[in-house]
Amino acid sequence: MDPAGQPTARRPFPTATVVAWVLLVPWIVFLGIRLLGIDSNQWLIAVIGLTPYVAAASLFPLLLALVLRVWPAAIVAALVTVMFAVLVVPRAVGGPTEASTPGPPLRVLASNTMLGGESPEELMALVADLHPDVVSLEELTPVFAHQIDELGFQDEFPHRAVNPDDGSSGSGLYSRYPLTDQHLVDRYPFEPFVTATIQPSGAQPVQITSVHTAPPTARGWAADLEKIAPPPADGRAILLGDFNSTLDHAPFRDVLGRGWTDAAATVGSGLDPTWPSDRNRLPPLYAIDHVLVGDALGVRSFSTHFVASTDHKAVFAELQLPGD
């Protein structure tokens, strides 16, 4: 009732305000999950890996709040977008870096063969195009190892440290340069990594390791990543292969926090997805294949490459080794 005793008209329901806030809530929740590193099951792991796309889409609730003139929601949405940008944009900018004592280049290539189903002919064509010095193959089977050798892999890479297996645990390093200190890294109960030391002319020795961690569908995914050791104190080390993790997964960020540097993010290619690459007409979504380096190495370039009959794009990096 108003002072004159007349019924007071009802105020209209603030539809615009409700719409602006309701559509903003999912981005706020997602950002919180990402910042807190909550990836306790395979569904959350899959969702967190989509952070770059969610970050780009965070402009939608911001623009909507501005159009609807819901200024409090617009301010919060702007803060959310800025925080997403802080998380994502740095991996899309960058440039080449120098080794601690500039030495010769080392070109490395890593490819998951999908249990040996990868086309050996296309792998050979990629090798001919990129001229890598070292190739890391994950899910390397005895049959696939034999097939590529028949096509000339043995001539291209006479030095190797390989551990083929009929399951997903096989891996190997193939090199144009001699490999020393070859051994398997014991990671019980997880499958071992193949590692060796390489020393091209004019360079200091560098440890190089082929990596294939447990998939996020396995219960030991986070524990497997925890077993990745820091680089040696001299920083002369390389990890390359299938990490089954993106830069947005907390266990992988912990790996980087131990002293490793992601080559793709260093040169501004950290948003290039690599998996799954076997879907017709659909691009891959997740950047789970990486080249990591210790602080003694420089990164000159990084790129991803489609190879038929496997669900991972191959990753290629040109690194700079520390000079002798």
241-274 pLDDT, tens per residue?
Answer: 999 999 999 999 999 999 999 999 999 999 999 9
80 and 170 both lie in a single domain: no
**Given pLDDT bands bounded at 50, 70 and 90, which one contains residue 3?**
low
In the chain, the number of structural domains is 2
Is 234 within the bounds of a domain?
yes
pLDDT given for residue 14 in this prediction:
73
106 alpha-carbon distance from chain centroid: 20
Of 254, 249, 255, nearest to 292 by C-alpha is 255
Last residue of a domain, one of 68, 92, 116: 92
pLDDT of 7 > 60? The answer is no
Exposed / middle / buried, residue 186 (Cβ in 10 Å: 0-12, 13-18, 19+): exposed
Q: What is the pLDDT of residue 6?
A: 58
Residues 211 and 78 in one domain: no
**What average pLDDT does this structure show over 138-153?**
97
Q: What is the mean pLDDT of the chain?
A: 94
Judge whether 78 lies within some domain.
yes
> Locate tokens 């050979």: which residue?
124
> What integer pLDDT is reported at residue 12 of this predicted model?
46
Q: Max Cα separation, the chain?
A: 100
Average pLDDT over residues 282-308: 97
What is the pLDDT at residue 149?
97
pLDDT tens profile 68-107 = 999 999 999 999 999 999 999 999 999 999 999 999 999 9
pLDDT of 219 reads: 83
Burial (CB count <10 Å: 0-12, 13-18, 19+), residue 267:
buried
Residue with tokens 């040109």: 318
Q: Encode pLDDT of 30-69 as tens digits.
A: 999 999 999 889 999 999 999 999 999 999 999 999 999 9
∠ CA 247-250-255, rounded to 5°: 75
- Whether residue 277 is predicted with pLDDT greater than 80 in this model: the reply is yes
In angstroms, how far is CA 262 from the centroid of its own chain? 8
Same domain, 71 and 116: no
**Whether the predicted pLDDT of 9 surpasses 80:** no
172 contact partners, CB below 8 Å, separation of at least 6: 136, 137, 140, 145, 160, 161, 162, 163, 164, 194, 210
Q: Which residue has the tokens 């997964």?
A: 249
Q: Are 21 and 149 part of one and the same domain?
A: no
| pLDDT band, residue 4 (cuts 50/70/90) | low
**String of DSSP letters for 74-122:** HHHHHHHHHHHHHHHGGGG-B-----SSEEEEEEEEEEE-TTTTS-HHH
Asked, for residue 2, whether it belongs to a domain, the answer is: no
Is residue 129 included in any domain, yes or no? yes
Over residues 3-26, mean pLDDT: 74
For the stretch 171-205, pLDDT in tens is 999 999 999 999 999 998 888 999 999 999 999 99
Q: What is the pLDDT of residue 139?
A: 97
Domain that holds residue 88: 15-92
Partners of residue 286 on adjacent β-strands: 275
Please indicate, yes or no, whether residues 118 and 151 belong to a single structural domain of this protein. Answer: yes
- Residue 232 binned pLDDT confidence (cut-offs 50, 70, 90): very high
> Which two tokens mark 299?
């990164």
